[in-house]
Amino acid sequence: MRCPYCKHHDSKVLDTSHDSHGGIRRRRECLKCRQRFSSYERPILATPLIIKQDGNREEFDREKMARGIRISCAKRPVSAADIERMIGQVEVKLTKMGKAEVSSRVVGDLVMETLKEVDQIAYIRYAIVYLGLDDLQSIRKEIDHLLVD
pLDDT in tens, the chain (149 residues): 899 999 999 999 999 998 766 789 999 999 999 999 999 887 766 789 999 999 999 999 999 999 999 999 999 999 999 999 999 999 989 988 888 899 999 999 999 999 999 999 999 999 999 999 999 999 999 999 888 87
The pTM score is 0.67
Radius of gyration from C-alpha coordinates of the chain: 19
pLDDT value of residue 20:
67
Alpha helices in the chain (DSSP H): 62-72, 80-97, 104-118, 120-130, 136-148
pLDDT value of residue 146:
87
